Amino acid sequence: MTETILQNDLPHFSEALYEHKFMVNTMRSELKEVSPDTTEYTSAIEYTKFNGWLPKLMTFFMPGVFRKQVQKWLDQFKEFAESHQKS
């Protein structure tokens, strides 16, 4: 997989292009301070190209698979970030 950073204005947001032999997508991540000890993280993923018959079938018959995988990654990131907070 190749990651190309399209925009990087951390700590506010970042946007990247991900290219893989089976698909291409972009992801925009935004961070917003809610309070001094709370941050809201928002991400938007747009799948722009699928290569091969299997990924195309999966998007047609099982679109929830992609949402579940992304939610898994977000949950893992949340666990990581919250376990590494400054005391």
Res 86: pLDDT: 66
Query: How high is the mean pLDDT of the chain?
Result: 88
Give the residue with greater pLDDT, 85 vs 80. Answer: 80
SS3 6: strand
Residue 81 pLDDT > 60:
yes
What would the pLDDT profile of 28-59 be if each residue is shown by its tens digit?
999 999 998 888 999 999 988 888 888 788 77
Residue 14 banded pLDDT, cuts 50, 70, 90: very high
What pLDDT is recorded for position 87?
Answer: 55
How far is it, in rounded angstroms, from Cα 34 to Cα 3?
A: 29
Contact 47, 30 (CB under 8 A): no
> In this structure, are residues 34 and 45 in contact, taking their beta carbons and an 8 Å threshold?
no
Beta carbons within 8 Å of 21's beta carbon, 6+ residues apart: 51, 52
In this structure, the number of other CB atoms found within 10 A of the CB of residue 24 comes to 16
